[in-house]
Amino acid sequence: MKKSSTRKRPIQADDLKRFVLVAQPQVSPDGSQLVFVRKHCGPKNKMLSNLWVASTDGRVVRQFTSGDRDGMPAWSPDGSRVAFVSGRSEQQPQIFVIPADGGEARQLTSFPEGSIRAFAWSPDGTRLAVAFRETAPEWTQAAKKKREEEGLSIPPRVIETSWYRLDGDGYFDQQRYHLYVVDAETGEAKKVFDRDTTGLFSFDWHPSGKTLVVSANTAKDALLKPWKSRLYVVHADTGKATLVPGQEDGDREAVKVSPDGKLVAWSGRMGRGALWGSRNQHLFVTDLRSGKTKDLTGDTDYCVAAATLSDTREAAFGATFEWLPNSKGLILTIGWHGETHVAHQPLNGKLRFLTSGPYEYQIGNLSKDGKRIALCRGTFHELNEIFVGTVTPTKLTPQRLTDFNDALLGELALAPVKSHWVRSEDGHKVQVWVMMPPGAKRGSKLPAVLEIHGGPHTQYGVPFFHEMQLLAANGYAVFFSNPRGSKGYGEAHCAAIEGDWGNKDWMDIRAVAEFMASRPYVDAKRMAVMGGSYGGYMTNWVIGHTRMFAAAITDRCVSNLHSMAGTSDFPLVPDHYWEGNAWDRPEKLWEQSPLKYFGNVKTPTLVIHSEGDLRCNIEQAEQVFSALQVRGIPSRFIRYPVTTSHGLSRSGPPDLRIHRLEAILDWLNTYLKTKPKRKRAGGKR
């Protein structure tokens, strides 16, 4: 990052309008250039996304498409064209194709109103496979316009399955994604697979170009039984689906066929393991003829789908991996101790990390010869930029290609970050980071904030986190950690809280809180706790079990597992992750609900939630706020509109994200910047 000679200033909430975000890098087959998505805040509070290209020699970085909603780029196999999805018509996105040397993009598909989730070129470049979901007729824009013209009411939704909505996706009722094959010249589309009852199938072309391999769950109650996922070989012309032999129960995701066509790689778990990702996902390969399956990462304690959270990009919860051209191994990413690194997993051999250091890497694809890989990389102090990596069996050498955020970051006095390890009362070690206010005076006593991450089976770590930097810039020492339940520290660490929240995780968070209070630079009477989603759950749990904190902020929270069992987009499966059920055995759900302990709460609490949150329904926050108000606890409830979702803090409209950050600062400043007039009770557990 380039250094600025001018005096640096503190980061501000509205700096997020100047952030340039990059994603989805794809290297050309010959390795000479990358195409990627560049996203920025445009006029009228809109986030705009275009495709850009960068030459891998670092000489050229330029805008490639002019649309405002362009994404998902993919090179044709011969490198002559790039296909991409454009939402130039917001309700009717289509696939466009543009020559590799630039020019006018041509609309290829003419799907009706709906959504494109994924697509892939056929090996010979004559066709594309597309996952498309059509909007139900009564919910199209044409139907809406007709109702308005005739003065008719919004119609009711008639629901016949528990899978009818998804946070960030909205309500889709009975509609599902199906697999289509599209002619790359005419755009003619033919449906070839519609048997997945959730529409969450993954797919990849076989090198022959005649078939596709699809992982799908055709069970009627697939949402409740993910282990019913199976591999199918689907004929691209006839749609005939043949089950790969010899398969046992397991959840199978992200299929990729080997270049020699003999194997299919996939991520998941064998057996009927726990839902919600508490167990490690492994990388498997299956022989397409015999069905024989091998667990490539089973002798490690790594999860190939460990997500690291940030508020400057969307969280990527799935596994990412690519076959080497010789079909003898794969390149993948592994999240570990707050970092995410690129690794090489041979078919016959041990996993080897190819990168190291305090970085988060995200991979795109490999060049045809396997020598170059498309990358994004970020750090505590650098937003993601585009890199190209030179790959060998033992090492990856990254070369930076973009510097979109250097000018802005050069203006800012960013907070230093230091890693520590603390020990819980049972001896378990927990990693915690401290972000100090830039220029903090030695010997001063600072207010402090403990941030608790969501998931819970994710991790905090090295990616740039605007919210934390903002808190530090406003004089707060910021603490964030990966207590038990987090990814990146092995399966035992993660699975320790499976169906048992508020126990080992609370033990670890309490140890972190005591570590905070013991720091000579922290004023233990001016500490706050905050978190979102599961972090909101733990914030609610903390204030019901201790009075160490002078203020709290619970964001898109869970408060009542009993009511959440039927109000989330993913309903709870009885006797699986959680013991019991919501109708005649709710005792365990209620025992682990923070709301049960709100009779103990004395902490002033800010409640933040989105009315459009389908993951943690806003009724969870309403119960918190109602209890606080009835008990006379100082509290404030900020409800963001139904047009926002669970991911407001990282993908919501810029003005509302700024409002949220300023509301957080206002609450913390009210309760932490002024020393309390009375001595607070402490140590209650």
The C-alpha atoms of residue 401 and residue 420 are separated, in whole angstroms, by 33
The pLDDT of residue 681 is above 90: no
The CB density around residue 543, as the number of other CB atoms within 10 Å, is 27
Of residues 13 and 676, the one with the higher pLDDT is 13
The CB density around residue 158, as the number of other CB atoms within 10 Å, is 10
The CB density around residue 68, as the number of other CB atoms within 10 Å, is 15
Averaged pLDDT for residues 34-38 = 98
Averaged pLDDT for residues 206-210 = 98
DSSP count for the chain of H helices, then E strands: 11, 38
Q: Are the C-beta atoms of residues 232 and 219 closer than 8 Å to each other?
A: no
Which of 347-359 are b and which e, b meaning 16 or more Cβ less than 10 Å from the residue's Cβ? beeebebbbeeeb
pTM of the prediction?
Answer: 0.96
H-helix or E-strand spanning residue 589: helix 587-591
The C-alpha atoms of residue 35 and residue 74 are separated, in whole angstroms, by 8
Nearest to 539 by CA among 662, 443, 621: 621
With a CB cutoff of 8 Å and minimum separation 6, the contacts of 319 are 253, 254, 267, 281, 283, 304, 305, 332, 333
The pLDDT of residue 208 is above 60: yes
Q: Are the C-beta atoms of residues 517 and 527 closer than 8 Å to each other?
A: yes
pLDDT digits 0-9 by tens, 511-554: 999 999 999 999 999 999 999 999 999 999 999 999 999 999 99
Averaged pLDDT for residues 288-317 = 94
The CA distances from residue 423 to 281, 430, 498, 521, 683, in Å, are 27, 6, 21, 20, 18
pLDDT band at 120 (very low <50, low <70, confident <90, very high): very high
Averaged pLDDT for residues 46-71 = 96
The C-alpha atoms of residue 448 and residue 435 are separated, in whole angstroms, by 10
| Token duo for residue 461 | 């770590």
Return the pLDDT at 274. 61
pLDDT band at 682 (very low <50, low <70, confident <90, very high): very low
Domains of the chain by residue range: 415-672
Return the pLDDT at 60. 96
The C-alpha atoms of residue 425 and residue 508 are separated, in whole angstroms, by 8
> What would the DSSP string read from start to end of 528-551?
EEEEETHHHHHHHHHHTT----SE
The C-alpha atoms of residue 578 and residue 587 are separated, in whole angstroms, by 11
Nearest to 29 by CA among 369, 392, 257: 369
Percent above pLDDT 70 for the chain = 97
- The residue count of the chain comes to 685
Q: Are the C-beta atoms of residues 369 and 31 closer than 8 Å to each other?
A: yes
Exposed / middle / buried, residue 488 (Cβ in 10 Å: 0-12, 13-18, 19+)? buried
pLDDT digits 0-9 by tens, 558-596: 999 999 999 999 999 999 999 999 999 999 999 999 999
My answer on whether omega of the bond before 29 falls inside 30° of 0, hence cis, is no
pLDDT band at 390 (very low <50, low <70, confident <90, very high): very high
H-helix or E-strand spanning residue 472: helix 466-473
Half-sphere exposure of 251 (CA within 13 A, CB side): 21
Return the pLDDT at 315. 72
Exposed / middle / buried, residue 611 (Cβ in 10 Å: 0-12, 13-18, 19+)? middle
CATH architecture entry for 415-672 = 3-Layer(aba) Sandwich (3.40)
HEC string for 374-439: EEEEEECCEEEEEEEEEECCCCEEEEECCCCCHHHHHHECCCCEEEEEEECCCCCEEEEEEECCCC
Return the pLDDT at 449. 98
Exposed / middle / buried, residue 3 (Cβ in 10 Å: 0-12, 13-18, 19+)? exposed
The CA distances from residue 201 to 130, 214, 253, 325, in Å, are 11, 7, 8, 25
pLDDT band at 26 (very low <50, low <70, confident <90, very high): very high
Return the pLDDT at 683. 40
pLDDT band at 276 (very low <50, low <70, confident <90, very high): confident
The pLDDT of residue 680 is above 70: no
The pLDDT of residue 91 is above 90: no
The C-alpha atoms of residue 81 and residue 597 are separated, in whole angstroms, by 60
The pLDDT of residue 207 is above 70: yes
Inter-axis angle of helices 466-473 and 654-672, to 10 degrees?
40
**To the nearest whole number, what is the mean pLDDT of the chain?**
95
pLDDT band at 316 (very low <50, low <70, confident <90, very high): confident
Give 3-state DSSP helix, strand, coil % of the chain, rounded to 5. Answer: 20, 35, 50
With a CB cutoff of 8 Å and minimum separation 6, the contacts of 584 are none
pLDDT band at 685 (very low <50, low <70, confident <90, very high): very low
Nearest to 341 by CA among 329, 351, 328: 351
β-strand partners of 72: none
Return the pLDDT at 389. 98
Q: Which amino acid makes up residue 519?
A: R
pLDDT digits 0-9 by tens, 401-433: 999 999 999 999 999 999 999 999 999 999 999
Return the pLDDT at 90. 67
Residue 595 CA to chain centroid, in angstroms?
Answer: 27
Measured over the CA atoms of residue 106, residue 111, residue 113 and residue 114, the dihedral's sign is negative
H-helix or E-strand spanning residue 329: strand 329-336
683: left (phi over 0), alpha (psi -120 to 50) or beta: left
pLDDT band at 675 (very low <50, low <70, confident <90, very high): low
Averaged pLDDT for residues 20-44 = 97
pLDDT band at 679 (very low <50, low <70, confident <90, very high): very low
Backbone angles phi, psi at 299, to 5 degrees: -90, 10
